[in-house]
Amino acid sequence: MNAADLLNDHGDALYAYARTRLASDDDIADCIQETLLAAVRNADSFTGNSSVRTWLIGILKFKIIDTYRKQAREAEHISIDAAEDEDYFDETGHWEMQRAPRAWETSPLEQLEKVELRERLYDCIGRLPKMMRAAITLREFEDCDTLEICKQLMISSTNLNVILYRARMHLRACLEAFGFKGVAP
């Protein structure tokens, strides 16, 4: 097993996986490189029960989680008391009309089929603060449970819930800002 051949045969698949989870090209390249080196070093552990690509993506997943863990150590602390979502709601707790969810032009399920929407969504994830990006990615892409994410990111479950909530609010608003809004509210 040779790293250059693996890069040649599976580079695009590894890139497609990593680019939806990491915002920086340097991080993507580092993770792919470390994955290929780890694969060559541990070639004996490949049993052939899955395809080489699936095995490589399994390694890449752990490299990406390592990156999140490193980023979490240096990430800005997100206060659970900070009233960052105040803008969305008025003083009575109801939607500010300017920020209230608008109807999408087609139903959300039809929107799923739109490649452009997915690309925009990845852009929006890339714009999230590091901790939010790590939390939403581990939760939604990797389907990690609360305990696992809290352990990886070294945060409390209360803090995680607030981070995920804000990330979801930001993502939806970001898609609207990109033009995914439709008819009048």
Residue 174: CB minimum distance to other proteins, A:
10
100 in contact with other proteins (CB under 8 A): yes
Site string for other proteins, 133-172 (x = CB under 8 A): ---x--xxx-x--x-------------xx--xx--xx-xx
Q: Side chain identity at 63, as an amino acid letter?
A: K
Q: What is the residue type of 153?
A: L
- 83 sits near other proteins (criterion: CB under 8 A): no
Q: Judged by CB under 8 A, does residue 36 bind other proteins? A: yes
Near other proteins by CB under 8 A: residue from 29, 43, 154, 177: 29
Candidates 178, 163, 176, 179; CA nearest to 101 is 176
Q: Residues 183, 175, 83, 154: is their CA dihedral positive or negative?
A: positive
One residue of 112, 127, 151, 156 binding other proteins per CB under 8 A: 112
Contacts of 59 (CB under 8 A, 6+ apart): 35, 38, 39
Lookup: tokens for 147 = 């305990």
CA–CA separation, 121 vs 117, rounded Å?
6
104 counts as binding other proteins under rule CB under 8 A: yes
How far apart CA 119 and CA 113 sit, in angstroms, is 11
Question: Residue from 47, 49, 92, 98 that binds other proteins (CB under 8 A)?
Answer: 92
Q: How far is the CB of 105 from other proteins (least distance, A)?
A: 12
Distance between CA atoms of residues 20 and 29, nearest Å = 13
Which of 78, 4, 79 is CA-nearest to residue 39?
Answer: 4
Residues making contact with other proteins (CB under 8 A): 3-4, 7, 11-12, 14-17, 19-20, 25, 28-29, 32-33, 36-37, 85, 88-89, 92-95, 100-104, 107-109, 111-112, 115, 117-119, 121, 136, 139-141, 143, 146, 160-161, 164-165, 168-169, 171-172, 175, 185
